[in-house]
Structure formats: C-alpha cells, structure tokens
Amino acid sequence: MAKSSAPSRERIVAGAADMISRRGLSATSIRDLAKHAKAPLGSTYHYFPEGKQQLATEAVRYAGGAVARILRAELRAGGPVAGLQAFLGLWRGIVVESDFRAGCPVLAVSVEEPPADETPPALAAAAEAFEGWERLLAESLGERGVARDQAEGLAALIVASVEGATAMCRAKRGAQPLDQVAQQLEALIVGAIDRPA
C-alpha cells in the first residue's frame, strides 16, 4: 500500500506548536503555520476546518500533553527533584537549541490579549496545561509528605518560575535565568520534603 504524501495531522499540530513558541499566536497566520509544518494550506484546513483558533488550541494541547508526559515519567521514577530537573532541562534544551528563538507555546498563547468578553479555546487549553503540570508536581510533593496547601503553592511557584525563566532566557539570550531558578527551586523542594508541614 502506498504511503500518503500528505502531512499527518500530528505533524501539522507539532509544527504549529513550534511556530507559536517562536512568534506567538497573533503574529502567526494559518498560512504561516501550514508553511512552517511543510503542509499544504488545503490539508491544514481539511484537518482544522475551524481555522487558526482550532489549530492553535490543538497545538497548545499537544505541547501541554508532551510536557506532562515527560514530567509524569520523571516524577514517578525519581520524585519532585527529578521532575523539576526534567522540566527545567526540557525548556533549557528548547531555548538553547533554537538559539533563544523558541520558548513555550503554552506561555505564548497565555500572554496575548484575548478578544473582549471572550475566552478563546487556545487560552482555555493553556490554563488546562498549566493546571495539569501543577497537579502532577503537587501530587508528587504530597506523596513525599508535603501538606496539600504547601504542595499546591510550591507547584504553582515551580511552573510560574520555570515559565518566566524561559521567557527571560529568550530576552537575555542566555540560559542563566533557568540555571538560577533551578538552584532556588531545588532548595525549596528539598526543604519542603525534609520539613513537611
């Protein structure tokens, strides 16, 4: 059976996530997203008949899910410090390998101004991704005896710090913000586990 030369839906979504991580959503057209994924515009509309917002939403879900899978595996295998190191390592790899041109597509969608009186589906998907990462971290901390409120607060701090440091790396054209945040967050995790509330 001959293979189809049409790009897969997943390849288009992955390409869109990468493009959004570089340019943001507002500065990217569906034509740009299709071109970046090396997909014909017709194939893109075939898979995403609702257009740019549908593709952006899927791209955010794809990125959020990919990060969650890595985070979940590391948390299960090695606990909160290993999860933190994997989370930081993922973003460090992305910013450094892209020569500080790419960041997090979930964050990119989150910082753009939504239309008045509307929550676009991509923004809702970004909130779900952040909440999912926080939940994984909080559960891992809780399994090590950290009280629920403290675990949830620390998980939110981890996600916010790493996302912010990723943006700072892009602006500063260097990985130092992630390295600095890594030291501080690791110390907080160890302290919380050693002295559960």
**Structure confidence at residue 51 (pLDDT):** 85
**Structure confidence at residue 114 (pLDDT):** 73
**Structure confidence at residue 81 (pLDDT):** 96
- Contact criterion met (CB below 8 Å) for 122 and 57: yes
Q: Which string of b and e fits 55-83 if b means at least 16 CB within 10 Å?
A: bbbbbbbbbbeebeeebbebbeeebbbbb
**Structure confidence at residue 90 (pLDDT):** 95
pTM (two decimals): 0.90
- Contact criterion met (CB below 8 Å) for 150 and 138: no
**Structure confidence at residue 196 (pLDDT):** 56
Q: Quick one: tokens of 32? A: 């740009």
CA distances 162 to 73, 134, 155, 156, Å, are 18, 12, 11, 10
CA distance 191 to 146: 10
**Structure confidence at residue 28 (pLDDT):** 85
Q: Quick one: tokens of 172? A: 């500063």
pLDDT per residue as tens, the chain (197 positions): 334 444 688 989 999 999 999 998 888 888 888 888 888 888 888 899 998 889 999 999 999 999 999 999 999 999 999 999 999 999 999 999 999 999 999 999 999 877 777 788 999 999 999 999 999 999 999 999 999 999 999 999 999 999 999 999 999 999 999 999 999 999 999 999 987 55
